[in-house]
Amino acid sequence: MAGYSLIQDDEIYSQTSDSVLSGDIHRDSFSDQAPLLEDVEEDSEVQYGSASHFSCAINLSNTILGTGMLAMPAAIASTGLLLGSIMIFYAASASALGLYFLSLAAVSTKGRNSSFFAVSKLTYPKAALFFDIAIAIKCFGVGISYLIIIGDLMPQIVDSLVGSEKAAVFIDRQFWITIFMIIIVPLAFLKRLDSLRHTSLIALLAVIYLLFIVIYYFFGPEYQAPPKDKIHLIKFSSQFFTNLPIFVFAFTCHQNIFSIYNELEDNSQSSINGVIIGSIGTTSMIYQVIGILGYLSFGDDVSANIISMYESSTIVTIGRIAIVILVLFSYPLQAHPARACLDKVLLSLQSRPDKIPRSPSGIRYILLTSGILIGSYIIAMLVSELDIVLAFVGSTGSTSVSFILPGLFYYKLNENSPWDTRKILSVCLATYGIFVMTICLTSNIYRVSYAL
């Protein structure tokens, strides 16, 4: 796609990156771009990538695809077909650009130990802790939302299958959160992101089934077109800013790009670019199909959950089960970066400030993972509506991870280099992120104030 032409290899940079990765260039020779971190502690584990291109693309795609695709038709309803389609493409391009800048920043770290913390130490060392805290909170909040969705959907599934009167205990949301948390536990303890490739593939099959439902009901014999005045090509309404976060955060997956860089067998820039383009390109097409056909099916009356718009049937019930499977297998993809960021935060308080902590030891790994699981479980059990809280978390954490940090990292690492297209784009991306954060936070504050 033309929009992804920004993610093309620059021949000179590619040669430099490959040389750095292979060890042919000493760290001092990279000093004109950015000072590589001194005294980085080596990980005792083998640091060789073994993940395939396909498995990395699957994991990144599954990180992107979540409950946001259920609300995409409603987001398009606030903008109209044409503008909504453009917004999806624009959000995909901005997200891909952020991933690209983060992958370039990963080259500046030593070996396969890249992380937000490591890059922060090279660029803004005093703010490294705050960056990791923001990322951890964002991932933790998204994980909680997944548990809440499970608690909301499973009682509906049981009711449609056997009726609520015959299975009263099975319509309790806390019961299902507990059951699915037990299933999540072993997945959350997997150390490598690549170990989740099989569950990510299953989750993507659930996405394909949701696509089938949307396409089937639009082209099927039972389709009833909404009134013409309910369909708009271009539309401007006050709901645009309310639904703006759906477009902006639809492609947030940047918290896992460093893990993919570390684990990918061939983590050259061209290979990383292929993973980014494949993941963003595939998911953007899925968003386009679900968003456009969902909007055309119900018009302006479409709700924020497209699956709830269809009448109960066997096909729809299976679709709801598919969504549960999707969020079930997406939870570990949020727990993985949350644990990594929290580990860096905790150990950096004990280590020398000029060193990057090693990977967590066995006991520390268990404690961190258990803390994330227990904390998200307790909050999901006690709270049934986190939309306002997650809106604030998304406005700050997701915006920082997707736009602000990638732009700032690339600019800082190339601060002394001549201005070129990529450097200009990095500043534009960071500025765009700050603008989006301001708009979304203002909208959320007004929303809370109006509700009170």
Q: Are 302 and 309 in contact (CB under 8 A)?
A: yes
pLDDT at position 42 is 40
Q: Is residue 127 in a domain?
A: yes
Q: Are 270 and 55 in contact (CB under 8 A)?
A: no
pLDDT at position 371 is 93
Q: Is residue 358 in a domain?
A: yes
**Beta-bridge partners for 51:** 264
Which range marks the domain in which residue 369 is found?
47-382
Sequential DSSP letters for 65-125: -STHHHHHHHHHHTT-HHHHHHHHHHHHHHHHHHHHHHHHHHTTSSTT---HHHHHHHH-G
Q: What pLDDT, in 10s, does the model give residues 128-162?
A: 788 888 888 888 888 888 888 888 888 888 887 77
pLDDT < 50 stretches in the chain: 1-46, 353-354
Q: What pLDDT, in 10s, does the model give residues 208-266?
A: 998 999 999 899 887 888 888 889 999 887 777 777 778 877 898 898 899 899 989 98
Residue 45, SS3 per DSSP:
coil
Q: Is residue 261 in a domain?
A: yes
pLDDT at position 4 is 40
Distance CA 196, CA 190 (A): 8
pTM of the predicted model as reported, rounded to 2 decimal places: 0.78
Question: CATH number, domain at 341?
Answer: 1.10.4160.10
pLDDT at position 433 is 92
- Count of structural domains, the chain: 1
